[in-house]
Chains A and B, each alone.
Chain A
Amino acid sequence: MGIEQKLGDMGVVTTSLESAINWARTKSMWPMLYGLACCAIEMMAAQASHYDLSRFGMELMRASPRQSDLMIVAGRVSRKMAPVLRNLYDQMPDPKWVIAMGDCASCSGVFNNYAILQGVDEIVPVDIYVAGCPPKPEGLIHGIVTLHEKIKTEKLSRWS
């Protein structure tokens, strides 16, 4: 407040470093292509032009985990795929977030058996769970917006 009052109309805003960094992280998050099963179709639909995801800064989905910061696990994860998923999660640089999209990623959905991981939070820490089988693209967008709100309240010490 002090500097702004003194400088008047010079076009300066003051804010805290934390909120600036969180704002920057929210507005240009790049998701990683991790569509495994049917939820991938809804993820593609959310990315396409009707329900646009690029208005949230997610212009493109990066196939390489080294260049992405959000992993949207869309679809059921089998026990054969689980080490691969953990490997890719480990290859993502900080800061990184995980959205478990759909019922199968959150809690194994309809597949309560030996072959499917009972929820992807058995192997990666999940920030947001989006329910639905599959969730509508609007549901995924609601999940992403909730993630943005969660990030805005994050402390700097989480990723430092």
Chain B
Amino acid sequence: MSKISNSIISQMITRFGASSAEFRDETTLIIQPDQIVEGCRYLRDIAGFNMLLDATAVDYCPATTPRFHLIYHFYSTKKNVIIALRIPLNGNEPEVQTIESVYPNANWYEREIWDLMGIHFEGHSDLRRIVLPVDWVGHPLRKDYPLGYEEVQYTFNFDDVNKRKRYPKD
């Protein structure tokens, strides 16, 4: 039984076309990308979820068709409930509206998602890399990014690996 009142969920379903799922007292609303900003504004102003706890993204690359799921967790400090919002996105360079105007702390979360997953946020004030070096190419946490590991150097292949290892000149 969810602690979130049913009226909020039913409002989200009728107004924004969301679909809800529940698992062990945790409610998740699945919503389409064009409805995010209004949905978040409704959650903040009317439903009382005044805090963005976390923003993250998942890559389900070969498995399911909407390749990315963007996940936001909102928290209501008055009622002590957490609600999750899932936004399915497709394609290699998905574009989505930023919710920075609604929750200002989404700034760094969205920078991290852009850096590691490659989901572009339209309207973001300062979208640049936050975790990786500035001139890095690629988005490492996608499923099709190579692991980038080096062959382990045992005694039997020591010389082979040594030939390809980088050493400084001085």
Question: A-side interface residues toward B, CB under 8 Å?
Answer: 79-80, 107-108, 112-115, 118, 121-125
B146 close to chain A: CB less than 8 A: yes
CB neighbours (8 Å) of B147 from chain A are: 113-114
CB neighbours (8 Å) of A112 from chain B are: 149-150, 152
Q: Are the CB atoms of A122 and B168 closer together than 8 Å?
A: yes
CB neighbours (8 Å) of B145 from chain A are: 114
Q: Are the CB atoms of B149 and A115 closer together than 8 Å?
A: no
Indicate whether A113 sits within 8 Å of B168 (C-beta atoms), given known contacts A80-B132, A80-B133: no
B contacts with A: majority SS: loop
Given contact pairs A113-B147, A113-B149, A114-B148, enumerate 15 new A-B contacts (beta carbons under 8 Å): A80-B132, A80-B133, A107-B153, A112-B149, A112-B150, A114-B146, A114-B149, A115-B140, A115-B148, A118-B165, A121-B167, A122-B166, A122-B168, A123-B168, A124-B168
A-B contact pairs, 23 of them (CB 8 A): A80-B132, A80-B133, A107-B153, A112-B149, A112-B150, A112-B152, A113-B147, A113-B148, A113-B149, A114-B145, A114-B146, A114-B148, A115-B140, A115-B148, A118-B150, A118-B165, A121-B167, A121-B168, A122-B165, A122-B167, A122-B168, A123-B168, A125-B168
A contacts with B: majority SS: loop
CB neighbours (8 Å) of B126 from chain A are: none
B170 close to chain A: CB less than 8 A: yes
